[in-house]
Structure 1
Amino acid sequence: MTRGTPPAPPPWRRNRAAGRVLAVLEAAGGEARYVGGCVRDWVLGRPTGDIDIATTLVPERVIEALQQAGIKAVPTGVEHGTVTAALEGQGVEVTTLRRDVETDGRRAVVGFTTDWAEDAARRDFTVNALYADQAGQLYDPTGRGLGDARARRLCFVGDAATRIREDYLRILRFFRFHAQIGLDLDPPGLEACAALAEGLEQLSAERVWHETKRLLAGPWAAETLHGMAESGILGRVLPECRDLSVSDALPGACDAELRLAALLPKAGAGAAEDVARRWKLSRREAARVVNAVEPLPDDAGTDAAAIRRIVYHSGGEAAADRLALAHARGGAVTPEAAETARNWRPPRFPLSGRHATARGIEAGPAVGELLKAVENWWIAGDFTADREACLAELERRISETESPGSSPPRS
Structure 2
Amino acid sequence: MWGRIFLSPKLLSRIHLTWSHRHLFTMQLKTKEFESLFTDGLKSLADIFEKHRFELRIAGGAVRDLLSGQRPEDVDFATTATPEEMKRMFQAAGIRMINNKGEKHGTITARVHNENFEVTTLRVDVQTDGRHAEVEFTTDWQKDAERRDLTINSMFLGLDGTVYDYFQGYEDLQNRKVRFVGSAAPRIQEDYLRILRYFRFYGRVASEPDQHDPDTLEAIQENASGLAAISGERIWVELKKMLVGNHAAHLLELVYELGLAQYIGLPAEGNVEEMKQVCQKAYGTSPKPVTVLAALFRSPDDVERLDLRLKISREEKTLGLFLVRRRRDLVKGQDEHGGLKPFTDFVIDSRELDAQSKVLELLKYQGEVKLLAELKRWSIPRFPVSGHDLRRLGITTGKEIGTTLQELRDIWKKSRYQLGKEELLSTISRS
- The TM-score range, normalised by the shorter chain, is 0.7 to 0.9
Identify the residue that residue 94 of structure 1 maps to in structure 2.
119
Could you tell me how far apart the structure 1 residues matched to 2:150 and 2:174 are? 14
Which amino acid is 2:171 matched to?
G
CA contact (8 A) 1:217 1:259 kept: no
The TM-score, its normalising length taken from structure 2, stands at 0.82
Superposition pairs of residues 361-372 of structure 1, within 5 angstroms: 361-372=395-406
- Which of 189, 196, 199 in structure 1 is aligned with 2:216? 189
* More off after superposition, 232-241 vs 113-122: 232-241
CA contact (8 A) 1:173 1:211 kept: yes
Identify the residue that residue 256 of structure 1 maps to in structure 2.
289
Q: List 4+ stretches of structure 1 deviating above 6 A.
A: none
Q: Flag structure 2 segments of 5+ consecutive residues without an equivalent.
A: 1-22
Distance 1:188 1:388, change over 3 A: same
CA contact (8 A) 2:287 2:361 kept: no
Shift of 1:6: 5.9
- 1:102 is paired with a residue of what secondary structure? strand
- Identical aligned residues as a percent: 34
* More off after superposition, 271-280 vs 246-255: 246-255
Could you tell me how far apart the structure 1 residues matched to 2:215 and 2:116 are? 37
Could you tell me how far apart the structure 2 residues matched to 1:73 and 1:337 are? 52
Higher RCO (C-alpha 8 Å, min separation 6): 2
Which amino acid is 1:219 matched to?
N
Could you tell me how far apart the structure 2 residues matched to 1:322 and 1:256 are? 13
Shift of 1:82: 2.0
Which amino acid is 1:335 matched to?
V
Matched, 1:316 2:356: yes
Could you tell me how far apart the structure 1 residues matched to 2:67 and 2:57 are? 15
Superposition pairs of residues 236-315 of structure 1, within 5 angstroms: 236-237=263-264, 238=266, 239-243=268-272, 244-251=276-283, 253-265=286-298, 268-293=299-324, 294-295=326-327, 296-300=329-333, 302-313=338-349, 315=355
Distance 1:63 1:249, change over 3 A: farther
Shift of 1:85: 3.3
- Which of 164, 167, 188 in structure 2 is aligned with 1:139? 164
Superposition pairs of residues 106-255 of structure 1, within 5 angstroms: 106-141=131-166, 143-182=167-206, 185-234=212-261, 236-237=263-264, 238=266, 239-243=268-272, 244-251=276-283, 253-255=286-288
CA contact (8 A) 2:157 2:163 kept: yes
CA contact (8 A) 1:57 1:96 kept: yes
The count of residues paired between Structure 1 and Structure 2 equals 388
Superposition pairs of residues 21-100 of structure 1, within 5 angstroms: 21-66=45-90, 68-69=92-93, 71-75=95-99, 76-87=101-112, 90-100=115-125
Shift of 1:42: 2.2
Shift of 1:64: 4.2
Distance 1:343 1:182, change over 3 A: farther
Distance 1:342 1:263, change over 3 A: farther
Distance 1:219 1:374, change over 3 A: same
CA contact (8 A) 1:22 1:53 kept: no
Distance 1:259 1:18, change over 3 A: farther
CA RMSD after TM alignment: 2.5
Distance 1:151 1:6, change over 3 A: farther
Alignment deviations for residues 146-180 of structure 1 (CA, whole Å, 9 cap, x no partner)? 32222221111122111111111111111111123
Which amino acid is 1:182 matched to?
A
CA contact (8 A) 1:12 1:134 kept: no
The TM-score, its normalising length taken from structure 1, stands at 0.85
Q: Flag structure 1 segments of 5+ consecutive residues without an equivalent.
A: 328-333, 401-411
Alignment deviations for residues 236-262 of structure 1 (CA, whole Å, 9 cap, x no partner)? 432252223322332155321222223
- 2:187 is paired with a residue of what secondary structure? helix
Could you tell me how far apart the structure 1 residues matched to 2:303 and 2:294 are? 7
- Which of 334, 347, 351 in structure 1 is aligned with 2:385? 351
Could you tell me how far apart the structure 1 residues matched to 2:314 and 2:420 are? 36
* More off after superposition, 2-11 vs 288-297: 2-11
CA contact (8 A) 1:59 1:81 kept: yes
Shift of 1:128: 0.9
- 2:198 is paired with a residue of what secondary structure? helix
- 2:394 is paired with a residue of what secondary structure? coil
Shift of 1:67: 5.0
- 2:369 is paired with a residue of what secondary structure? coil
Could you tell me how far apart the structure 1 residues matched to 2:35 and 2:94 are? 21
Could you tell me how far apart the structure 2 residues matched to 1:202 and 1:384 are? 57
Alignment deviations for residues 170-225 of structure 1 (CA, whole Å, 9 cap, x no partner)? 11111111123337543322220011111111111111111111111113322322
Could you tell me how far apart the structure 2 residues matched to 1:202 and 1:362 are? 61
